[in-house]
Amino acid sequence: MIRSAYFTLAAALMVPHAQIAAGAISDAPAVASQTATGIPLDARWKQQIYGFARDKLQHPAWGWTHSERDYLLASEIAAKEGLAIDGDVLFAAAFTHDIGAIGDFQKEGVDHAVRSVEVAEPMLLAAGFPAEKLPAVRDAILGHMHDKQPGSRNESIVLHDADTLDFLGSVGVARRLVVNGDSPDYAAGLARIGEFADKLPGRLVTKAAKDMAPRRVAEMREFLDRLKAETVNGRLP
């Protein structure tokens, strides 16, 4: 009954995109029994989703490497907090939460998290993901951004904090600068880095993530200070 309801919803919302997602799954290259960082791919659907991510989600800031870091950070936060999490839900949400921000999967005027849910749900079902766990995946995806309130489920909370932490530290600096676009200088990117260092720690929910944030913030501030010292009036050409 649940599976039928989700297929009906997918058909009503986005038949062409459901077909694209299913096709992408079937065309995804075969992968090994674990991810690049050793996350076990202990179910066929995980292998398919990971293969899809490696093949289709190529983006320097929002792509599969970011998803992999988010999964690892979320797992670490859960362990430190003593939070029980469903590994299937966390894996599915981590590797699909930014689909809607990448390439042809984007939809104008639609929040990328909402768009990610639209694409991910039929794709996960096509891969064999347990239908009864889809509401938890949806909850985690919709609440993953630092400017959103995470849902009440543990998977949503830890993914939110992991995604926020990945905007901080050296990796946060790299991600911010790589999406600076066609700007003639780095001013906007640098301003955003400073803003993230100031504001994002206050948006973390768990104590574990809050304890991890200061080192990352210090890295960002050190980068900005060193850059200012090495440039003319703090500006880059």
The predicted structure's pLDDT at residue 12 = 33
CA distances from 136 to 2, 15, 152, 165, 204 (A): 13, 23, 10, 21, 20
**Rounded to an integer, what distance in angstroms lies between the CA atom of residue 122 and that of residue 125?**
5
Tens digit of pLDDT at every position of the chain (237 positions): 333 333 333 333 343 554 555 566 656 666 679 998 999 999 999 999 999 999 999 999 999 999 999 999 999 999 999 999 999 999 999 999 999 999 999 999 999 999 999 999 999 999 999 999 999 999 999 999 999 999 999 999 999 999 999 999 999 999 999 987 777 778 888 999 999 999 999 999 999 999 999 999 999 999 999 988 888 765 665
Q: Spell out the domain ranges in the chain.
A: 2-145, 169-229
The answer to whether 219 and 173 are in contact (CB under 8 A) is: yes
- H-type helices in the chain, by residue range? 2-27, 44-56, 64-81, 87-94, 112-127, 134-142, 154-165, 169-178, 187-199, 207-229
The predicted structure's pLDDT at residue 28 = 64
The answer to whether 71 and 77 are in contact (CB under 8 A) is: no
Taking each helix axis from N to C terminus, what angle separates 87-94 and 44-56, rounded to the nearest 10 degrees?
Answer: 20
